[in-house]
Structure 1
Amino acid sequence: MPEPTPPADTHHVFVYGTLRRGDVRDITRMHPAPQFVGMASVAGTLYDLGSYPGVVLGGPGRVTGEVYAISAELESQLDVIEEVWPQQTGEYSKQQVRVQVRDSGTAVETLELDCLVYEINTARTAGKPVIASGDWHERRPPR
């Protein structure tokens, strides 16, 4: 049985840190529920900011994450979590990026989708360690 088609006002979001399944802010526990699309990666560098990561987009590295179809209502909740609205702390900015999504059970091996990505302000990465694997779930535990 095929997955239900997301509504026309659906957006896609790429999550790479604490919003990933099983992490402290697991997006799958939010409402309205997002629809998992697949595992994915973007060009970028992933930084360990302590209890959460930040991605700086672009460059030769790859950052691993998950893509979800989300409603405008859920997008608004994510904006609050990432402090891009209404606080606008300057820690993150919301970007739209072309993301490579790996096979999610369809006949397509990879597909590309335009996704929202919350990018860390580069000033916040000064002196912070890079997660060489590009995967928040594969980082080394704190010492």
Structure 2
Amino acid sequence: MPQPDPGALHVFVYGTLRSGGSNDISRFTPAPERVADGEIAGTLYDLGAYPGAVLGGEGRIKGEVYRITPALEAQLDVLEEAKPDGTGEYSRREAMVALGDRSVRCLVYEIHPARIAGRPRIASGDWMAR
């Protein structure tokens, strides 16, 4: 796997955008470059067909880090219904993601808090292993 470039744009995916998921990020154009598996502090919730992450806290969320272009970022914003005013289904955030012995700043799509009411938590933090 390539080393993360601190000046590049990276995204951390934890749900259907993961490799083998129903929205596998590798199907997008321009194709992203997989950097590594990673983990981030947060809690993962089961929303049925997809998960939602709430960042921070003691829990860990497992996922994958990809190097992406601004054009792909714009496509992900549409898919995740991320709106600049915070009213979308997800909000685009920046957070540090652990990649074993190093970390990289990534875009992360965090679920709107209203969407997780009454939804079960995924204790493992791993959508693909639920």
- When normalised by structure 1's length, the TM-score is 0.83
Return 5+ residue gaps in structure 2 as ranges.
none
Which residue of structure 2 aligns with residue 18 of structure 1?
16
Q: Secondary structure at the match of 1:43?
A: strand
Q: Offset at 1:88? A: 6.5
* The one of 49, 52, 60 aligned to 2:50: 52
Post-superposition Cα deviations, 1:75-100, rounded to whole Å, max 9, x if no partner, equal 00000001114897521101000110
Report if the CA contact (8 A) 2:17-2:24 is conserved.
yes
Read off the aligned partner of 1:111 and give its amino acid letter. Answer: R
Tell me the number of residue pairs that the alignment of Structure 1 and Structure 2 aligns. 129
Which residue of structure 1 aligns with residue 129 of structure 2?
138
* Higher Rg of the two aligned structures: 1
Post-superposition Cα deviations, 1:83-141, rounded to whole Å, max 9, x if no partner, equal 11489752110100011013xxxxxxx211000000001111110000000000011xx
* The one of 57, 61, 65 aligned to 2:63: 65
Q: Secondary structure at the match of 2:114?
A: helix
Which residue of structure 2 aligns with residue 79 of structure 1?
77
Return 5+ residue gaps in structure 1 as ranges.
103-109
Q: CA RMSD in A?
A: 2.1
1:84–1:4 Cα change, 3 Å: same
Moved over 4 A (4+): 2-6, 85-89
Read off the aligned partner of 1:39 and give its amino acid letter. Answer: D
Counterpart Cα distance in 2 of 1:52 and 1:74: 20
Which residue of structure 2 aligns with residue 119 of structure 1?
110
Which residue of structure 2 aligns with residue 33 of structure 1?
31
Report if the CA contact (8 A) 1:44-1:56 is conserved.
yes
- When normalised by structure 2's length, the TM-score is 0.91
Report if the CA contact (8 A) 2:83-2:91 is conserved.
no
1:86–1:43 Cα change, 3 Å: closer
Which residue of structure 2 aligns with residue 95 of structure 1?
93
